[in-house]
Structure 1
Amino acid sequence: MSDEDQKLVVLARGALARAETSSAAAVRDGDGRTYAGAPVTTSTLTLSGLQVAVASALSSGARAFEAAVLVNGTGDDPGMATLSEISPDAYAVVTDLSGTPTDRQDSV
């Protein structure tokens, strides 16, 4: 895993700890800016950590994505569809809770 991807792991693990949840995600946009997110679950809204990170990036003006990291997530996360819609060449790395990669999906 590259140093830049390791930074995404650190950001995602930070979001996981702050939200006291079991998973989180972080993305890097086409300009190298990073965004992290943890799952949101209320009676009227359910978002995965990746969906939160992607939405945060898009609402901040991101136009493309390079990569995503999902800590303790899965490759079938609903945020993968949006990541792919915006940037078909982006890749995603899934890690366990410690940040050790368990899966990589190129061209999400």
Structure 2
Amino acid sequence: MPELDPEDNKLVVLARASRARTAAAEGAAVRDTDGRTYAATTVALPSLKLTALQAAVAAAVSSGAEGLEAAAVVTAAAEADEASRSALRDLAPNAPLHIAGPNGEVHTTH
């Protein structure tokens, strides 16, 4: 399990809390280059489908974020899907992406 700094650990906590609050498939959180955090969950509407990370990136962009420092996804899946990774890389090609299980334990960092 990778050791996270406190700010990245906060992202995991926010992502896990968002997921638990809505019983969503995934929760995600991102931190922008100004230190602001944005959390979101999977969106599954008839007319709109977003992964949790896509939703968190969209929230950051719509709030004026120009870049991201780090991201975390809490999911039962082994990895974040390509759509999620692509959304993060659009705004932050080198930001670490932490993948944690539902218990909040980070098992992978990209």
TM over 0.5: yes
What is residue 41 of structure 2 aligned with on the other side?
A: 38
What is residue 81 of structure 1 aligned with on the other side?
A: 86
The alpha carbon displacement at 1:83 in A equals 1.2
**8 Å Cα contact 1:48-1:77 kept in structure 2:** no
What is residue 21 of structure 2 aligned with on the other side?
A: 18
What is residue 108 of structure 2 aligned with on the other side?
A: 103
User: Aligned to 2:5, which of 2, 5, 11?
Assistant: 2
Runs of 5+ in structure 1 lacking a partner? none
**8 Å Cα contact 1:50-1:77 kept in structure 2:** no
Determine the C-alpha separation between the residues in 2 that align with 1:67 and 1:57.
12
The alpha carbon displacement at 1:13 in A equals 1.2
**More relative contact order, 1 or 2 (CA 8 Å, 6+ apart):** 2
SS in 2 for 1:69: strand
The alpha carbon displacement at 1:93 in A equals 0.4
Distance 1:62 1:91, change over 3 A: same
- Residue 93, structure 1, aligned to residue 98, structure 2: yes
The alpha carbon displacement at 1:77 in A equals 4.4
The alpha carbon displacement at 1:19 in A equals 1.2
- Residue 55, structure 1, aligned to residue 28, structure 2: no
- Give the counterpart letter for 1:30 in structure 2: T
Give the number of aligned pairs: 105
Aligned residues with identical type, % of pairs: 42
**8 Å Cα contact 2:53-2:87 kept in structure 1:** no
Determine the C-alpha separation between the residues in 1 that align with 2:87 and 2:54.
8
Distance 1:85 1:54, change over 3 A: same
- Give the counterpart letter for 1:48 in structure 2: T
Runs of 5+ in structure 2 lacking a partner? none
- Greater alpha carbon shift after TM alignment, 51-60 vs 85-94: 85-94
Determine the C-alpha separation between the residues in 2 that align with 1:62 and 1:68.
14
